[in-house]
Amino acid sequence: MLISTKKVFSVFLLLLVAVQVSVLGQVVTTSPAFPTADEPVTLTFDLTQASDTRAEGLLGKTDDVYIWAGAGTTVDGDAFEFQPPGQTNWQQPFEPGKLTYLGDDRWEITLVPREYFDVPADQPIRRLGLVVKNGSGTAQTEDLFVRVYPDELEAEFRNPTEELLFTEANAAIPIEAASSKNATLSLLQDGEVLTSVSDATSLEYSLTPNGEPGVRHEVILKAETATATAADTFYYIIEPEPAVAALPAGVEDGVNYVGPDEVILSLFAPDKEFVYVIGEFNDWLPSEEYLLNRTPDGERYWIRLDGLPVGEEVAYQYLVDGEIVVADPYTEKILDPNNDQYLTAANYPGLKPYPEGATGIVSVLQTDQEPYGWQVDDFERPDADNLVIYELLVRDFLDSRNYETLADTLTYLKRLGVNAIELMPVTEFSGNDSWGYNPTFFFAPDKAYGAENQLKAFIDKAHEMGIAVILDIVLNQADYENPYVKLYWDGDRPAANSPFFNQEATHPFSVFFDFNHESPATQAFVERVTEYWLEEYNFDGFRFDLSKGFTQNQTSSVEAWSAYDPSRVNILKGIYDDIRTYDPDAYLILEHFADNQEETELADYGFMLWGNANHDFRALARGDEADPSWISYQERGWDEPQVIGYIESHDEERLLYDVLENGESSGTYDTQDLTTALNRSKLAAAFALLVPGPKMLWQFGELGYDVSIDHNGRTGAKPVLWEYQQDPERQKLYNVYAALINLKLSQPVFQTDDFNLDYDDPVKRLTLQGEDNTVFVVGNFDVETRTVPANFPREGTWYDYFSGEELSVTNPTEDFVLQPGEFHLFSTAPLPAPQEGLVPWSNSVLSVEEEIAAGKSLVVYPNPTPDDAVVSLTGDYRGSVYVNVLDATGRVLHKLELQKSQQSLRHQLLLQDLAAGLYYLQVEIGSQRSVRKLVKVSR
């Protein structure tokens, strides 16, 4: 689990009301008071007023302080739309932005905005974004914003700075107002003039609030000259006292649809004083009728809304304690002003425009919705013990990045034979481009991949094709935009009274904000989340990201964190029990990697657990020593096949990339040759997939994806390379995967509990004993030829799966030669034949004498040979015989056409120009093709 990076100068902004709040007059002030784009403005910074704790590193300095700045063309839009030329490296000083020290932690700079930011003359400047930092970027303030004005009459409240404020009755509100030019300044409350001054640029007044609690009052500043008028407005409300009323029966947190135009909203918010709902129905301003009731226990706030437009989407937020604006934590859809603008119809068709007057992320409700019409309502989930899961990230699997196209790829996955798909996180995450492990809204699918019904249609089609769909879900952490993070916030971390989050993560692998899974609030939230995705979207189960993080046991090292933790075990068992009450057979998979005692207990309880064999199989594929036997549940001492073994996952380096970059070689055998590396991928697949128990593939591993995980940054977007299918050698790897998966799922012997792994030596063996068949897999992971005892499980006739040849074994321990990378899958009963030519070797365990004695029609001798060899072909065939000599990678070195005119044909192959090593002899007679291994040895 990892997340995508952000701008290094971004910080968390707390929005006090539904309109952007300026910090002008706190950290930064301007001269003139109304700066314009084309005139000099002096920016003065008082760093003692900065709220970001990272600014402490700036205090006491007398040099090495700079601004990192941008300019925007709109009042509320991107303030870093234009940046000064050369401002590119956050970690280096930017000399044009160097500040002048004034003393007492105060700094200033004078600039002309249009010139400094190189903004074209035809573009307005309405906003500056500013961060004060040291030269190396290790200390910084929060984001600061300065309004830039057109060169005309302007009027503005300088105090209060909020558009809406809450106050106590009879507590004076000091008002400071200003205009950009001399004018008559008037102050009005609810339409009545409070005071007025003539020919002035400033006005001060002390306003005493009056009236009933909860009533909104409007205060207007009006500036008038002979030729122009300007105004500014703020509102105040005397702090309300919400009505106490029990929650209506059956109402859950979130939106409850109770009629075609009616909903009940409920917000869990203990320790809060009052809550308003604001939205398109009240112009985003609170008023008496939109104050929520408080339940008698003080933990929830609720309201009934009626008269909503039937069947139409309506945006809304909660305003909590007059200070914090959040979207509904339970919303099933959000609108994001910062990221939705980059979505297209290919991402999310018909997306509702962001509502005018709103600020920040908003939630969406819609009455009288047409429910999705499921086509498959009787899907039978594949046996959990025999899952073959395909893990994928929509972003990196398809150029279109959407569910609609993903549904079209199901035929590809069906041909491969997988019976389950695991989607990397698709719940709303920060931004549009991410692995998804930075979740924000847990009930809303991220719009970057498509609409809600498109996700359901994908799952529906997968079920139609017999494929289960598993959701990778992140319940160990949340990013800042999660409403429950923002509702309980203290400076730069969750507040001590947060019902959901720890102030500090309890373990050393946390990235965002760490859930407290011992909290009843978190436990109830997790139950709602898991039930929702299983029942609303028909997902078939979950992969719980970083489940080892579900702990309140404080540790500082990975070793201590991984030790047996009884509290964590109980938490996970509780989640398991809750899910089993509404879904008795959902797949429940943990990314755990803890002490085997703990994993064994969780496996015995019913969980499946990820089994990472990537490092071992990468080493083996490179030609190094490793023992991947931990891929077997029996090696772990488990009673049931609950480990999901895998060669690759999203979190691991790609096998083929590693081999091509770091693989070993010996003589002419080089694992860094692409064809050789692909053949070694086949070898690894055979010894991973065929071990009984569930298995997992990472996307495009079946085609030999050879782009590093660190390409474009670890979590950055990777090339989508469907063109791999046009490469014959990569297609062979795909077909080997498909053949092995087909065997695993269709042949009972591959589901046996009577099996043995001999994975200690470079030549590895896997034996599976079934009622009607025994399978013996043997392969050489070395980069040199190995002559070893075969160690067949018994005498008798064996069938070589990939060559189709029969082998009579009279001495199970007789030595035979395995070339580097060569493997065989033998069975005592014939298995369904795969495509021909998937591996570049055939069964050559028998000696030449045994082949002749067995009546073989094609014999190559001597073999091995230090010089030349003879091809002997016996039979009734008459006509052309084509003989090709291939190297170990499948490259054709020699081509011969011979004529067979009698019963026997013998031809001497001249091999003097070939180096010692492994070769293959391909002989074609008519429509038949035979392959023999040929070994050239040194004299």
Which CATH number covers residue 205?
2.60.40.10
Per-residue pLDDT at 919 = 84
In this prediction, residues 924-929 reach a mean pLDDT of 74
Which one of 147, 171, 197 terminates a domain? Answer: 147
Per-residue pLDDT at 859 = 82
Which one of 586, 606, 626 terminates a domain? Answer: 606
User: From the DSSP assignment, how many helices (H) and strands (E) are in the chain?
Assistant: 15, 53
Q: Does residue 599 share a domain with residue 624?
A: no
The 10 Å Cβ neighbour count of residue 53 is 12
For 510-547, letters b (16+ CB in 10 Å) and e give bebbbbbbbbebbbebbbbbbebbbeebbbbbbbbbbb
pLDDT per residue as tens digits for the range 497-534: 999 999 999 999 888 999 999 999 999 999 999 999 99
Distance CA 314, CA 364 (A): 5
Q: Does residue 58 share a domain with residue 35?
A: yes
Strands 669-670 and 41-46, by their bridges, are: unpaired
pLDDT per residue as tens digits for the range 22-57: 333 489 999 999 999 999 999 999 999 998 889 999
Q: Does residue 818 share a domain with residue 704?
A: yes
Q: Does residue 160 share a domain with residue 130?
A: no
CB 457 within 8 A of CB 406: no
Confidence of residue 842 (pLDDT cuts 50, 70, 90): low
Q: Does residue 702 share a domain with residue 687?
A: yes
Q: Does residue 837 share a domain with residue 891?
A: no
Residue 843 has pLDDT above 60, yes or no: no
Q: Does residue 679 share a domain with residue 564?
A: no
Which CATH number covers residue 757?
2.60.40.1180
Q: How far is CA 433 from the centre of its chain?
A: 9
pLDDT per residue as tens digits for the range 204-218: 999 999 888 999 999
CB 869 within 8 A of CB 911: yes
Total number of domains constituting the chain: 5
CB 309 within 8 A of CB 294: no
Using DSSP's 3-state secondary structure scheme, residue 713 falls into coil
Question: Which range among 271-275, 315-319, 696-700, 843-847 shows the weakest confidence by mean pLDDT?
Answer: 843-847
CB 697 within 8 A of CB 736: no
Residue 814 has pLDDT above 90, yes or no: no
List of residues 6+ apart from 79 with CB closer than 8 A: 70, 71, 72, 127, 128, 129, 143, 145
Distance CA 913, CA 695 (A): 45
Distance CA 521, CA 270 (A): 10
Residue 97 lies in a domain: yes
Using DSSP's 3-state secondary structure scheme, residue 132 falls into strand
Closest CA to 217 of 277, 292, 285, 157: 285
Q: Does residue 588 share a domain with residue 552?
A: yes
Residue 394 lies in a domain: no
> Strand ranges (DSSP E) for 33-143?
41-46, 65-72, 100-103, 106-111, 127-134
Residue 568 lies in a domain: yes
Distance CA 757, CA 95 (A): 64
Per-residue pLDDT at 18 = 28
Q: Does residue 641 share a domain with residue 534?
A: no
Residue 370 lies in a domain: no
Using DSSP's 3-state secondary structure scheme, residue 371 falls into coil
Distance CA 298, CA 273 (A): 9
Distance CA 474, CA 546 (A): 8
- Model pTM score: 0.82
Which token pair is 664? 């070993």
Residue 622 lies in a domain: yes
Widest CA span in the chain: 122
Residue 291 lies in a domain: no
Q: With pLDDT > 90 as the criterion, what percentage of the chain qualifies? A: 82
pLDDT per residue as tens digits for the range 136-171: 999 999 999 999 999 999 999 999 988 999 999 889
Residue 43 lies in a domain: yes
Q: Does residue 625 share a domain with residue 505?
A: no
Which token pair is 646? 């895998």
Please list the residues that pair with 874 across neighbouring strands: 904
Strands 695-698 and 427-429, by their bridges, are: unpaired
Residue 194 has pLDDT above 70, yes or no: yes
Distance CA 893, CA 882 (A): 13
pLDDT per residue as tens digits for the range 250-302: 999 999 999 999 999 999 999 999 999 999 999 999 999 999 999 999 999 99
Which CATH number covers residue 932?
2.60.40.1930
Per-residue pLDDT at 927 = 63
Confidence of residue 13 (pLDDT cuts 50, 70, 90): very low
Residue 376 has pLDDT above 70, yes or no: yes
pLDDT per residue as tens digits for the range 568-605: 999 999 999 999 999 999 999 999 999 999 999 999 99
Which one of 147, 176, 209 terminates a domain? Answer: 147
pLDDT per residue as tens digits for the range 72-104: 999 988 999 999 999 999 999 999 999 999 999
Domain span at residue 559 reads 403-606
Per-residue pLDDT at 12 = 30
List of residues 6+ apart from 432 with CB closer than 8 A: 339, 342, 343, 347, 446, 447, 448
Residue 317 lies in a domain: no
pLDDT per residue as tens digits for the range 737-788: 999 999 999 999 999 999 999 998 999 999 999 999 999 999 999 999 888 9
For 382-412, letters b (16+ CB in 10 Å) and e give bebebbbbbbbbbbbbbebbbbbbbbeebee
Q: Does residue 170 share a domain with residue 101?
A: no
Q: Does residue 474 share a domain with residue 410?
A: yes
Which CATH number covers residue 521?
3.20.20.80
In this prediction, residues 110-126 reach a mean pLDDT of 96
Please list the residues that pair with 173 across neighbouring strands: 207
CB 336 within 8 A of CB 315: no
Please list the residues that pair with 757 across neighbouring strands: 766
Look up residue 240 and give its amino acid.
P
Please list the residues that pair with 41 across neighbouring strands: 111
In this prediction, residues 876-886 reach a mean pLDDT of 88
Residue 679 has pLDDT above 70, yes or no: yes
Mean pLDDT of the chain: 92
Residue 824 has pLDDT above 90, yes or no: yes
Give CA separation, 291 vs 141, 318, 330, in Å: 35, 10, 19
